[in-house]
Structure 1
Amino acid sequence: MMLCDHYYALDFDGVICDSAIETGISGWKAAVSLWPDLPAQMPEHILSMFRQVRPAMETGYEAILICRALYNGTPVEQLLEFFADTMQQMLSESDCDITQLKTVFAAIRDHWISDDFDGWLANNPLYPGIKELLLSIPQQQLFIVTTKQERFVSAILSANGITLDDRHIFGLEKQLRKPLILQQLQAFCQPKPLIFVEDRVNTLYEVIEDGTLNTVQLGLAVWGYNTPKDRQMAQQHCRVRILAKPEDIILS
């Protein structure tokens, strides 16, 4: 398969960047600001468990509630199996609303970036092989489709020597669900095919259910934030290609 024959739309967290450590630490710092009974430093075993729960998380502020739940002794398995219910319970117990949690989480992360950018960056490493892959794809054929803020995407890519036009980054600011973004990209890319790579199975199924996106080729990045159950679910659909390593993205 020739690179010039395809366009690529890649998710960011869980496909390009392993942000779980930074997200966990930011969530813990935010939790400490809300619940002073928590120790100032995130315990290693909590960070390890946070990594296991990360596949269930959809939005950054949820890291605060996950950290609190884990510290309270909620088992990883319970969080994975009953994530939405547990998050709602933790939200009720927090005496905060979602807007407040988002504000606190964003402020903690922004302070970390302004105070120690190198430290923040070190906790947002690219997955092995990803940098080489991104540099091998012509810039005009590469798009980032993510729920992460675009400024964070640009900062991490730039720090790794990867330059991408801002118009090719579709982040949180766009306020659009990924299928809608893919509809726009599909129209732009025609007649060449578009490959969309994601680490969340539910997102891939949203694309599958959208009848206007039948020609978009789909890949699940198993190195990202998904579980064996997720991968088994993905294998049940013929449109999803299981990608074991980044270079598989460009292999037919």
Structure 2
Amino acid sequence: MREPFYLVDFDGVVCDSRAECMVTGYAAYRELKGEPFEPAFTVDDVPADAAEAFIRFRYLARTAREFMVIWDLIEAGSAIDPDLPLDRQWEIDAARIMRYHELFYATRYRWMERDERSWVAIHALFPGMKEWLVARLAEGRAHLVSSKDSRSILTILRNNGVELPDDLVSGNEGGDKPGHFRRLIEEHPGRELYFIDDNLENLEMAAAQGIAGCLCTWGYTWEGGIEAAKRQGFPTLGLDGLAQLA
């Protein structure tokens, strides 16, 4: 059997960035609503009940712009369905969500430029993932594919002692995941590509292009998503099973 070449999601697989997404996303949301709000860029910026709800339902958002919908639902006091896509729970205005997207990244970069140390510190690599990723990179068998921006990914990894070339990260500025899959298939002919993600919809997109994969259960997922992945025949993997991906 050929050795797999791993396509690896970042948020929810390599890194737990829920706290940063919450703090950045909340500040961007307040600006979107035209409210005077100067973030301290700590978790205390976010009211406790709103913070709890965001962390709980973070997995429903596939991209940063969809955080806006979570905040809308929280602010409206609407019950959030854990099994229903966000676009079926709230009417989304295309121009408004794109404006939020712009504000989110402007806010993130403002934080990074003001105090990169605190921005990096609010992230945590999942146990064992640094060692696993370093080993696969050394073997030439890993490429990060993410809906996060490459600048953020590279900053987090390099500050955690993981050095890698810029071209081993395919982030959102270079297109969406299906586009990255198509390009990587062309760039690695004859290799067995294997995708690791915590989101079933992303695994389905990869499978549609002939890329096998597994659902990691330590990331931004929930019991319903895990069971749905099993029903569709996707393997599921916990951190204690990382050695299987060698």
Q: What TM bracket, shorter-length normalisation?
A: 0.7 to 0.9
Within 2, Cα distance between the matches of 1:172 and 1:82? 20
Counterpart in the other structure of 1:223 = 218
Counterpart in the other structure of 1:76 = 80
Q: Secondary structure at the match of 2:134?
A: helix
Is the Cα contact below 8 Å between 2:80 and 2:89 reproduced in 1?
A: no
Counterpart in the other structure of 1:248 = 242
Within 2, Cα distance between the matches of 1:86 and 1:38? 27
Counterpart in the other structure of 2:156 = 156
Within 2, Cα distance between the matches of 1:37 and 1:115? 19
Going from structure 1 to structure 2, the CA distance change for 1:56 and 1:39 (only over 3 Å counts) comes to: same
Counterpart in the other structure of 2:128 = 129
Q: Which amino acid aligns with 1:229?
A: G
Question: Structure 1 runs of 4+ off > 3 angstroms?
Answer: 37-40, 186-192, 249-252
Within 2, Cα distance between the matches of 1:69 and 1:38? 20
Within 2, Cα distance between the matches of 1:10 and 1:172? 14
Going from structure 1 to structure 2, the CA distance change for 1:42 and 1:143 (only over 3 Å counts) comes to: same
Q: Secondary structure at the match of 2:235?
A: strand
Could you tell me the TM-score, scaled by structure 1's length?
0.84
**CA displacement, residues 14-70 of structure 1 (integer Å, 9 cap, x when unaligned):** 111111111111111112223338897211221121112111102212223322421
Q: Which amino acid aligns with 1:34?
A: L
**CA displacement, residues 71-129 of structure 1 (integer Å, 9 cap, x when unaligned):** 3312233x65352134425x48xxx6233212211111111111121221122211111
Going from structure 1 to structure 2, the CA distance change for 1:144 and 1:251 (only over 3 Å counts) comes to: closer
- Does residue 47 of structure 1 match 2:46? no
**CA displacement, residues 192-218 of structure 1 (integer Å, 9 cap, x when unaligned):** 4222101110111122233xx1xx331
Counterpart in the other structure of 1:34 = 32
Structure 2: gaps (5+ residues): 40-44
Going from structure 1 to structure 2, the CA distance change for 1:113 and 1:87 (only over 3 Å counts) comes to: farther
Counterpart in the other structure of 2:116 = 117
Size of the aligned set, in residue pairs, is: 239
User: Kindly, what percent of the aligned residue pairs are identical?
Assistant: 25
Within 1, Cα distance between the matches of 2:37 and 2:75? 8
Is the Cα contact below 8 Å between 1:12 and 1:144 reproduced in 2?
A: yes
Within 1, Cα distance between the matches of 2:86 and 2:149? 23
Q: Which moved more, 1:105-114 or 1:61-70?
A: 61-70
Within 2, Cα distance between the matches of 1:250 and 1:189? 22
Within 2, Cα distance between the matches of 1:39 and 1:138? 40
What pairs with 1:83-232 in structure 2 (closer than 5 Å)? 83-88=86-91, 91=93, 97-139=96-138, 140-175=140-175, 177-210=176-209, 213=210, 216-232=211-227
Give 1:228 shift.
1.2
Q: Which amino acid aligns with 1:105?
A: F
Going from structure 1 to structure 2, the CA distance change for 1:39 and 1:46 (only over 3 Å counts) comes to: farther
**CA displacement, residues 142-181 of structure 1 (integer Å, 9 cap, x when unaligned):** 1001111111111011011101111111111211x42342
Q: Which moved more, 1:134-143 or 1:106-115?
A: 134-143
Counterpart in the other structure of 1:64 = 68
Counterpart in the other structure of 1:11 = 9
Is the Cα contact below 8 Å between 2:69 and 2:86 reproduced in 1?
A: no
Is the Cα contact below 8 Å between 1:130 and 1:246 reproduced in 2?
A: no
Give 1:233 shift.
1.1
Could you tell me the TM-score, scaled by structure 2's length?
0.86
Is the Cα contact below 8 Å between 1:28 and 1:42 reproduced in 2?
A: yes
Is the Cα contact below 8 Å between 2:196 and 2:213 reproduced in 1?
A: yes
Give 1:249 shift.
6.2
Is the Cα contact below 8 Å between 2:214 and 2:236 reproduced in 1?
A: yes
